[in-house]
Amino acid sequence: MNMTHYMSLLSDNQPWNLIIFMAIPVICAETLTITEFFIIFNRVKQGTVKTINKLVGIFAGLYFTGIFIYLFVNAVIPLTTSGGWHTWVDVVAVGFYLSGVLFLLPISLMELGLIFRSKSEEEKLKLHFMLVGGFLVVAHIAMIFGMVNPEIINSMPSMQDMH
């Protein structure tokens, strides 16, 4: 079976690629989500949960920025210049995966006090929640398209010009 570059990346170099590119970002996103709900519903202003949320937010954004840079240089540019993409499904999977940086990096920058300094705590809480939610959406879209066998799309009669 042919697979997207997204799935190929995760299945190569087992278990390390799966841990580096999937497990760590997903565990961070899940930790952020769980702590975020706890903070919102309990109106937590300080304490262990707030500290975990802040530290994971900083780590996740910086870590995923590193992943973005690495994959952009070592996968996106070479695949684009060589025409190596496995149909549009492959581009969608990788593109949505990498777009996660648009949500996680601002969380880090906000937690470090580099952006949104003039916002109230309530506004920051809302932004934080929306950014975490945005990351979860793009990550799930990437996973769904990443699991599609590109041969299915490539063999469709309406997709003959995608070779």
User: pTM of the predicted model, to two decimals?
Assistant: 0.89
Longest CA span, the chain: 58
Rounded Cα distance between 58 and 60, Å, is 6
Say if residue 155 is exposed, middle or buried (CB neighbours under 10 Å; 0-12, 13-18, 19+). exposed
Condensed to tens digits (0 to 9), the pLDDT of residues 4-39 reads 888 888 888 889 999 999 999 999 999 999 999 999
The pLDDT of 93-97, averaged and rounded, is 96
**Residue linked to tokens 């170099």:** 13
* pLDDT score at 2: 82
162, 36, 28, 38: which is closest to 101 by C-alpha?
Answer: 28
